Amino acid sequence: MLQVERMSLILAELNANGRVTVNGLAERLMVSKVTIRRDLELLNQENKLLIVHGGAIKPNFRLYEAPFNQRHDINIDEKKQVGQKAAEFIQDYDVVAFGVGTTTLQIAKHLQNKHNLTIIVGCVSILNQLIERKKSGFFTGKIIFLGGEIDTDQMFATGTVMMDMLDRLNIDKAFIGANGYSIVNGITTYNIDEGNFLKRMILRSSEVYLVVDHTKIDAKSMYKYTEFNDVNHVICDSEPPSDWIKQLESEGVQWTKA
């Protein structure tokens, strides 16, 4: 079977079921898993699907949220670009809050030459990275962890203790992620607890920066936690869709390409 035929069949199954698996495709198309992964990668580069652990899903809808460590390496180069650019917006003496997500993690990994920061964080993976960066002298200041019950799949704190603590804090700049960013569907995530946490963080912040890679643009997930114009700034590895530009400008949403 030619590659173009395989890719056509992959897209047909994806459109029918919303999700495909490497194992299932390899068995049905009678080719190796390596071949299927290669086909999926090409389709991903064309923005026709989104690669997830074990297979792929439609690019415009997140059927589930893979665990944090499984999502870490998806589109890693783009996430690094976004994280590095976002870190440039952090200034000395800022009170900064980090949301949950693998793109947000990259901001922490690129923090350097910053002084007297106060960093508020509810994600364990980001907390660990910040501790190492501070101990290594990349920034000075203090780290405040929003404690609570730990979601061990998504690696962040949840519950009323965390939310009550967040309600007592005033934040200069919040950096948040999303599973989808859309003018029509707003800012969405799969995890309701995460969405409620990010919504509260937005309300407590003077400026809000959304950090996403290109696969999240015009995508949607199950839970809408806020409107597209409830952020002040979008940082992405690609330009916005051309038909969005006027509305983004009219709503005061700045867009920076990393």
Q: Which residues of 76-87 are buried (b: 16+ CB within 10 A; e: fewer)?
A: eebbbbbbbbbb
- Name the average pLDDT for the chain: 88
| φ and ψ of 251, to 5 deg | -95, 0
Q: How confident is the model at residue 115 (pLDDT cuts 50, 70, 90)?
A: very high
For domain 3-59, the question of CATH label 1.10.10.10 is answered with yes
Judged by DSSP in three states, 106 sits in: helix
Same fold, 3-59 and 71-257: no
Q: Which of 61-65, 216-220, 227-231 has the lowest mean pLDDT?
A: 61-65
Whole-model pTM over 0.85: no
The Cβ of residue 138 has, within 10 Å, a number of other Cβ atoms equal to 16
CB burial class (10 A; 0-12, 13-18, 19+) of residue 74? middle
Statement: residue 124 has pLDDT above 60? yes
Choices 3.40.50.1360, 3.50.7.10, 1.10.3720.10, 3.40.1010.10: CATH for 71-257: 3.40.50.1360
Domain residue ranges in the chain: 3-59, 71-257
- Tell me the pLDDT band of 72, cut-offs 50, 70 and 90: low
Segment holding 236, helix H or strand E: strand 233-236
In tens, the pLDDT along 32-71 reads 999 999 999 999 888 788 777 678 877 655 444 555 555 5
